[in-house]
Amino acid sequence: MSRSKLLVLTCLICLFLLLNFLVYSQTDPNNVVGFGSPVFIPSSPVPVGAIPDIPVPTITPLPPQVSASDIANGLVWLEIPAINLNSRLDLAIEIDSANGPTFTEPAENPLLIPNWSADIGLPGVSIIYGHRQWGPSPKVFTDLDNLIVGDQANITSPGYRFTYKVIETLIINPADLWTVAGNHDLVAKSNNRNYLMLITCTPWGTDFQRLIIFLSLEAVP
């Protein structure tokens, strides 16, 4: 091939490549595709509706409950109108002993056992104990044996008033106390209910047995 023909052929190839470059530059303005099949680049953004919505997780609020700090600060009260009881609720303190853990002796006010029982308002059994008497003097739970099924009790704390009704009364041996508490705790949790378990000694003036009153949470106005 003569030199002149080779020069013409080279010019034609360069012209062809230039035309291709111009065509694909307009199809792909960002020049990211290069040579090959044309790719359509949309001139406007994809509509928002075309992007699937990301679900926002919902946070389930905790039910109303009595905090241990409110009890420790003297802000929680137990009221049982049928036996004219209106007393501040205190916290029991766990004590290690040779026979296992025990709890502080109640004085004038009933005591809630923390950690070993449910927080008031939450599913499970909330255990409260108190004296019926000390020597010849009647104490906070002296008339607890007069309660009957259907009687009402209230626990008030900052912002809440928990209303309970008596559902069961029992007299048991001291050795059976934790078994009874555990069985009722399972029932309460399976029904998503909060029970109060009020405990005192019986008969009056002795500590031979335990009087147990179970109450179920009915309302939190």
Are 177 and 199 in contact by the 8 Å Cβ rule? The answer is: yes
Are 166 and 149 in contact by the 8 Å Cβ rule? The answer is: yes
Of 103, 96, 64, residue with least CA distance to 181? 103
Are 21 and 28 in contact by the 8 Å Cβ rule? The answer is: no
Q: How far is the C-alpha of 92 from the C-alpha of 83, rounded, in Å?
A: 23
Q: How far is the C-alpha of 45 from the C-alpha of 132, rounded, in Å?
A: 78
Global pTM reads 0.72
Q: Percent of the chain at pLDDT above 90? A: 57
Condensed to tens digits (0 to 9), the pLDDT of residues 157-166 reads 999 999 999 9
Q: Which two tokens stand for residue 83?
A: 């036996």
For position 137, what pLDDT does the model report? Answer: 82
Pairing of strands 160-172, 152-157: antiparallel
For position 43, what pLDDT does the model report? Answer: 53
For position 36, what pLDDT does the model report? Answer: 46
Condensed to tens digits (0 to 9), the pLDDT of residues 109-157 reads 999 999 999 999 999 999 999 999 877 788 999 999 999 999 999 999 9
Q: Could you give all domains of the chain from N- to C-terminal order, each with its CATH number?
A: 3-50 (no CATH), 68-219 (2.40.260.10)
Condensed to tens digits (0 to 9), the pLDDT of residues 182-203 reads 999 999 999 999 999 999 999 9
Q: What is the dihedral of CA 120, 126, 132, 137, to 10 degrees?
A: -40
